[in-house]
């Protein structure tokens, strides 16, 4: 069963990733229930995009918090698949408001699983976790080479961080997402709910309107395009792998198509070693696109920030045959073009 055959509940469905998932399902011919409280910047514009698609009644929306059990129960009616994206997404916000972070990320996920547990036929669940569950990884040393921090360990430098990496939650966000991650994995064991978890690195692409706390590729682009300064926390040589949104959605489709044999498993999901960049390298790339170097300032390192994090994506590739198709330079150029075309809509008051 692919997206074309599914009825999919997308929690956080008007967010960046949710909008792309819902768009793909609708264009493939499937049915979508979008559950979103519309609290994040840009989501109203994303919802307008979804409702404008030719869906022939295959799109249903529920404007509500994922913790609202009565609405959640209604949204699950008739659904065979759940892509669970609804979350508090920023480490910095979690530090300032840890209770809210806990209630949304862990409480919201528990509420979803508890409602599914009471259904006659449990839908498949794909949960998006985070690489922050591995913590600061202080035992892995790195050395700076030019504009990049690179792992000293040759195996990690070649392949990235695998799913065998011990969990080491750091920050309230890491704790809440990590706890939810474990609940979703256990739901497959204890309640036989078909689940799979993606521990994700940087995802970027159209419909993303990033800010300083989350969605840094889009945030850097938006700041540079507006001629505004960009603040770098740390020295800018920290390295991340980045995955274009179309490749993530394809991975989700493959995971759900193969859920019978993948249930209960967790996969690190990102661009992998072939799609890495340091912040400084990305700024140079943006300078080329804008034909002007961005204005940059530097501040202290943030809690839980890793010098280098690159996903080892070989496990998922071996399980499904998936591989990223959009290279970093092409993907950033595509996002730049999308942001340029949608600048007016993104600046409308109700886009936030």
**Domain range for 304:** 3-351
In angstroms, the CA 7 to CA 267 distance is: 24
In angstroms, the CA 271 to CA 205 distance is: 13
What confidence score (pLDDT) does residue 352 get?
38
In angstroms, the CA 189 to CA 305 distance is: 32
How far is residue 115 from each of residues 71, 111, 250, measured CA to CA in Å? 11, 6, 27
Structural domains of the chain, count = 1
Q: Where are the beta strands (DSSP E) in the chain?
A: 7-11, 31-36, 59-63, 81-84, 124-130, 142-145, 148-151, 195-200, 202-204, 230-233, 239-244, 265-269, 276-278, 296-299, 308-309
Place of tokens 């528990």: 110
Residue segments in the chain with a per-residue pLDDT below the cut of 70: 304, 343-352
What confidence score (pLDDT) does residue 343 get?
66
In angstroms, the CA 208 to CA 246 distance is: 13
Q: Quick one: tokens of 251?
A: 């991975």
Please, are residues 140 and 131 in contact by the beta-carbon 8 Å criterion?
Answer: no
Active site residues: 173
How far is residue 239 from each of residues 49, 275, 282, 307, 309, measured CA to CA in Å? 33, 10, 10, 6, 6
CB proximity list for 168: less than 8 A, separation 6 or greater:
133, 134, 135, 136, 137
Total-model pTM? 0.95
CATH number at residue 251: 3.40.50.720
User: Tens of pLDDT along 269-294?
Assistant: 999 999 999 999 999 999 999 999 99
């Amino acid at each position: 069963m692919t997206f074309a055959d599914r009825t999919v509940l997308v929690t956080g469905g008007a967010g960046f990733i949710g909008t792309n998932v819902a768009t793909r399902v609708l264009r493939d011919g499937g049915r979508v229930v979008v559950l979103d409280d519309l609290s994040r910047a840009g989501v109203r514009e994303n919802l307008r995009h979804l409702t404008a698609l030719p869906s022939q009644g295959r799109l249903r929306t529920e404007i509500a918090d994922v913790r609202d059990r009565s609405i959640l129960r209604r949204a699950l009616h008739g659904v065979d698949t759940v892509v669970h994206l609804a979350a508090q997404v920023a480490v910095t916000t979690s530090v300032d408001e840890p209770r809210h972070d806990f209630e949304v990320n862990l409480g919201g996920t528990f509420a979803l699983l508890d409602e599914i547990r009471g259904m006659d036929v449990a839908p498949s669940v794909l949960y998006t976790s985070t690489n922050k569950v591995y913590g600061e990884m202080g035992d892995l040393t790195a050395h700076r080479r030019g504009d990049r921090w690179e792992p000293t360990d040759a195996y990690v430098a070649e392949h990235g961080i695998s799913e065998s990496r011990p969990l080491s939650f750091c920050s309230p966000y890491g704790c809440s997402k990590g706890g939810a991650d474990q609940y979703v994995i256990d739901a497959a064991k204890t309640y036989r709910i078909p689940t799979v978890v993606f521990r994700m690195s940087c995802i970027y692409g159209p419909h993303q309107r990033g800010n300083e706390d989350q969605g840094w590729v889009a945030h850097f682009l938006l700041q540079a395009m507006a001629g505004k300064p960009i603040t770098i926390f740390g020295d800018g040589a920290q390295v991340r792998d980045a995955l274009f949104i179309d490749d993530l959605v394809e991975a989700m489709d493959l995971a759900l198509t193969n859920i019978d044999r993948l249930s209960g498993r967790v996969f690190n999901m990102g661009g992998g070693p072939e799609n890495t960049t340091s912040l400084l390298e990305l700024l140079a790339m943006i300078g080329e696109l804008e034909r002007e170097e961005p204005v940059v300032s530097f501040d202290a390192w943030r809690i839980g920030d890793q010098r280098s994090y690159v996903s080892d994506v070989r496990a998922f590739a071996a399980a499904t045959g998936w591989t990223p198709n959009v290279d970093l330079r092409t993907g950033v150029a595509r996002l730049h073009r999308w942001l340029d075309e949608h600048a007016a809509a993104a600046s409308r008051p109700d886009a936030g």
